[in-house]
Homo-oligomer: A and B are copies of this chain.
Amino acid sequence: MAKKIRISDIARTAGVSPGTVDRVIHNRGRVSPAARESVEKALAKLDYRPNIHISAISLRKKYRIVVTTPQFSAGEYWSIIHKGVQRAVREFDSLDIECKVLCYDQFDLFSCRSTFEQAAKLNADAVIIGATFRDETVVLTNHLEDNNIPYVYVDSMVEGTYPLAFFSSDHYTCGRLIGKLITGICPSDSSFVLFQAVRTGDASANTTILRKKGFMDFCHEKGIAESVIRAPFSVTEPEKNKELIGNLFARHPEAKGAIVLSSRGNVIAEYLRTHGVGGVRIVGIDLTDGNMEAIGSGRIDFVVGQRPEQQGFMAVKALIQKMVYGRAPKSENYLPMDIITRENAAYYCEFADTTI
């Protein structure tokens, strides 16, 4: 490999001092047009890449990152995203990163609104957003853009906003994949129950809408859209499910498949178990503790995993890359959709801590 180029090499080539080169590189002004041009020419010729280790230590700054997502309990989807964030902060611990977490109730639009207002007020150096409600998110991102605060999305992207990057599944294709999985394990004359969590406020979660579209498109193409039955269920008040779901499966004995387009498939699995509904295959989303258990016991057949740990990690890494090293990270990041079943589930669990 060629010898490393340092700032002093650029300076010598350009016929200026290292300080001037530094000003050019960091766009800090106070440079004459002639000097700037000379430095830029040298830069182009010599392929200078700063030593990131030394950059990091010389730039003695405290980075305040705000992470705002739905609330979570241990082992739930969002908790794994936060775990990835924490691991990144730990790995970059020579950087003095302060991480403030603000959570809202993802089933309550108004909670989201006030939490995002609070997040905006903090004037952090960077923000990680786990979005649920579109309009409230746009209010937040407008504020961030006005103040030149970089932000990234985890879990899902909100169209019409301009984040530094996003890290999410392709939810539409996820819906299609779920269609393939559930139809693969059910008899060909089966019908399918599509469960959807009820929310307070009048907006549905964006991810769910996209997945539903993917799923329904798949069903239309296969000519089985007619055999999809929609049903609501409650995550926050499971006692209401008796009323919401009722004797659905008794009325539809041909329904041999259930699809849950959120991470709460285990709630449905539990409902079916306690209500003595048998022979129904379930496909869900995310390897939460609850789903893990239901997969192990065979009550859920497949879940599609979204690599939440990696999303959190990469979100922090992207922000650091921008703030510390001035490099724009790759902006569109669709993570692979992992098909998780009894045989390979354990490896996804264990590996969460280890990834890079």
Q: Using CB atoms and an 8 Å cutoff, list the residues of chain A in contact with chain B.
A: 1, 4, 49, 51-54, 56-57, 93-94, 96, 98, 170, 173, 176-177, 180, 184-185, 310, 313-314, 317, 330, 333-344, 347-348, 350-351, 354-356
Contacts and interface: CB of A to CB of B under 8 A. Distances in A.
20 contacts: A4-B96, A52-B53, A53-B54, A53-B56, A53-B94, A177-B341, A177-B344, A180-B341, A184-B184, A184-B185, A310-B356, A314-B356, A317-B356, A330-B354, A333-B354, A335-B347, A336-B348, A337-B347, A338-B338, A355-B356
Number of copies: 2
A337 B330 contact: no
B337 A1 contact: no
Given A57-B51, A310-B355, A170 B347 contact: yes
A310 B347 CA distance: 14
A313 B356 CA distance: 8
Contact of A98 (B1, B98, B314): B1
A333 B344 CA distance: 14
Given A53-B56, A93-B49, A356-B355, A339 B344 contact: yes
Contacts of A51: 57, 94
A13 to B, nearest CB: 21
B350 A334 contact: yes
Interface SS of chain A: helix, strand, loop or mixed? helix
Nearest to A350: B334
Contacts of A355: 310, 356
Contacts of A334: 347, 350-351
Contact of A339 (B54, B57, B338, B356): B338
A347 B354 contact: no
A310 B310 CA distance: 12
Contacts of A351: 334-336
A56 B52 CA distance: 10
A281 to B, nearest CB: 12
Most buried by B among A98, A336, A339, A347: A336
A336 B338 contact: yes
B336 A347 contact: yes
Contacts of A339: 338-341, 344
For the complex of A and B, list the 7 residue pairs with the smallest distance between their C-beta atoms, beginning with the closest.
A339-B339, A356-B356, A53-B53, A177-B343, A336-B347, A337-B344, A51-B94
A341 B337 CA distance: 10
A67 to B, nearest CB: 15
A356 B330 CA distance: 11
Given A57-B53, A313-B356, A356-B313, A180 B350 contact: no
